[in-house]
Amino acid sequence: MKALFLGVGEACDPRHGNTSVLLTTADGATVLLDCGFTAAHRFFAACDDPDRLDAVWISHFHGDHFFGIPLLLLRFLDMGRRRELALVGQEAIEQKIRHLMEMAYPGFMAKLGFALRFHVASPAGALSLAGLRWRTAPTRHSQPNLGLLLDDGSSRLYFSGDGRPGDRVAALVRDCDLAIHEAFRIKDEVPGHGSIGGCLRLAKRTGIRRLALVHLEGRTRQEHGPEITAILARHPTLVLPQEGDLLVLA
């Protein structure tokens, strides 16, 4: 699997687009992990094939994680997409997406030239889609959020969405090859958000092989750059990706 970072920032960071990752499997399947305000433009800058994307994962229903969907679908229509697109998330994903589309572009869904198939993910079960096994666990966030583990049979990638990890996340991510995790501040200061320190504790507890920190607060990036650089130097398996970075899982 390969993970291309389309954005790495939080909702209000003017220097970094909203956290979104384009995952490509060894078999060529592609999954977009979250689709916030800025994600669609970044996706189309990286991919000009309207039929390439297989599935979109939405971790939760905050704007910086799914308000890019209207532009994504509009551009696909404009480009002539014909392939079915899977939209995967928690309960009510179809209702939320259809309502969002109607607000953004009234009547648009009736004109769509390709099918949408909605899949509901639950921590109680697993999905098989795009050659991957999808499993989830709830995180501690201000809105219900599901962390997602994707397994292609040879490597495993975890994408946190937002929120602090609990025991169920720890059980899900044990020994995974790459965890892409929200880390809003350096320490656990903001309720419902993760931290660099919390991510390091999770990695130590679970044996995560590589850990990519995303969704870092913009002010924290600016004001604590030297401290963050020192943390990265002490932990060689820790990565602070930038837009356009590509991580390859063995």
* Span 51-79, average pLDDT: 97
Pairing of strands 127-129, 116-120: unpaired
Rounded CA separation 25/49 (Å): 17
Percent of the chain whose pLDDT exceeds 70:
100
- Residue-number span of the structural domain to which 86 is assigned: 2-248
Rounded CA separation 75/105 (Å): 12
Structure tokens at 27: 């078999």
Radius of gyration of the chain (CA): 17
Strand partners, 193: none
How many domains does the chain contain in total? 1
pLDDT at residue 19 in the model: 98
Q: 161-207 pLDDT, tens per residue? A: 999 999 999 999 999 999 999 999 999 999 999 999 999 999 999 99
* Span 127-140, average pLDDT: 97
pLDDT at residue 211 in the model: 98
Averaged pLDDT score across all residues of the chain: 96
Phi, psi of 69 (to 5 degrees): -60, -45
Nearest to 172 by CA among 201, 198, 207: 207
CATH number, domain containing residue 39? 3.60.15.10
Structure tokens at 234: 């002490």
pTM for this prediction: 0.97
DSSP annotation of 202: H
